[in-house]
Amino acid sequence: MSKINFKKWICEKFNCKRYCQDCTGEIAKAVKESQEDCNRIIRKRDKLLKSEYDENVKWWKQKYNDCMKDKPNPQPSKAIKSLEVRDGKFWVNGKATKLYGVSKREMIAVGSGDCTNVNYKYADIKKAILNSNINYIRVLAGKNLAYFRKEVEEYLDNGIVVEVELFDAGNLFRKYQASQVDTFEATKDLPVFFDINNEFLAEGVVDVVLAIAEYVKKHGGICSAGAWSGENGKQLSQEFKSKCNAYQVVSHHMEWTKKSLQEEMEAGKPTVMSELHTRDIDLPLAKTFFNNAFTWGCQGVNVYPLQNFGMGQDSKFQDILNFVSNFRTEQEKNEDL
pLDDT of residue 257: 86
Which of 45, 71, 97 is the last residue in one of the domains? 71
Q: Do β-strands 136-140 and 161-165 pair in parallel, antiparallel, or remain unpaired?
A: parallel
CA distances from 252 to 209, 256, 323 (A): 16, 9, 21
Q: What is the pLDDT of residue 74?
A: 65
Q: Quick one: 110 and 153 in the same domain?
A: yes
Looking at residue 32, what is its pLDDT? 76
DSSP 154-190: HHHHTT-EEEEE---TT-TT-TTBPPHHHHHHHHTTS
Q: Which of the listed residues 19, 46, 71 is the one where a domain comes to its end? A: 71
Check whether residue 140 and residue 32 sit in a common domain.
Answer: no
* Inside any domain, residue 152: yes
Residue 36, pLDDT score: 81
pLDDT score, position 45: 80
- Are 138 and 302 spatial neighbours (Cβ–Cβ below 8 Å)? yes
Residue 193: name the closest of 270, 265, 124, 78 by CA: 270
Residues ≥6 apart with Cβ < 8 Å to 291: 327
Q: Which residues contact 124 (CB under 8 A, 6 or more apart)?
A: 310, 311
Q: Would residue 77 count as lying in a domain? A: no
- Given a contact cutoff of 8 angstroms between Cβ atoms, the answer to whether 299 and 271 are in contact is yes
- C-alpha angle with apex 115: 109 to 113, nearest 5 degrees? 70
3-class state of residue 312 by DSSP:
coil
Contact 225, 197 (CB under 8 A): yes
Total residue count of the chain as it appears in this document:
337
Select from 47, 71, 95 the last residue of a domain: 71
How many other C-beta atoms can be found within 10 angstroms of the C-beta atom of residue 322? 14
Residues 197 and 151 grouped into a single domain = yes
SS3 105: coil
Q: What pLDDT score was predicted for residue 38?
A: 81
Task: Assess whether 106 and 171 both reside in one domain.
Answer: yes
Please tell me the total count of domains within the chain.
Answer: 2
What local confidence, expressed as pLDDT, does residue 238 receive?
A: 92
Predicted confidence pLDDT, tens digits, the chain (337 residues): 566 666 666 666 666 655 555 666 666 677 677 788 788 888 888 787 787 787 877 887 887 777 777 766 667 889 999 999 999 999 999 999 999 999 999 999 999 999 998 888 999 999 999 999 999 999 999 999 999 999 999 999 999 999 999 998 777 778 999 999 999 999 999 999 999 998 888 778 899 999 999 999 999 999 999 998 887 889 999 999 999 989 999 999 888 889 989 999 999 999 999 888 766 567 787 788 889 999 999 999 998 877 655 555 556 788 889 999 999 999 998 876 5
DSSP string computed for 9-60: HHHHHTT-SSTT---HHHHHHHHHHHHHHHHHHHHHHHHHHHHHHHHHHHHH
Residue 76, domain member (yes or no) = no
**pLDDT for 272:** 95
Range of the domain at 123: 83-336
Asked if 199 and 57 sit in the same domain, the reply is: no
Residue 179: the pLDDT is 94
Does 50 share its domain with 97? no
For residue 119, how many other CB atoms are within 10 A of its CB?
10
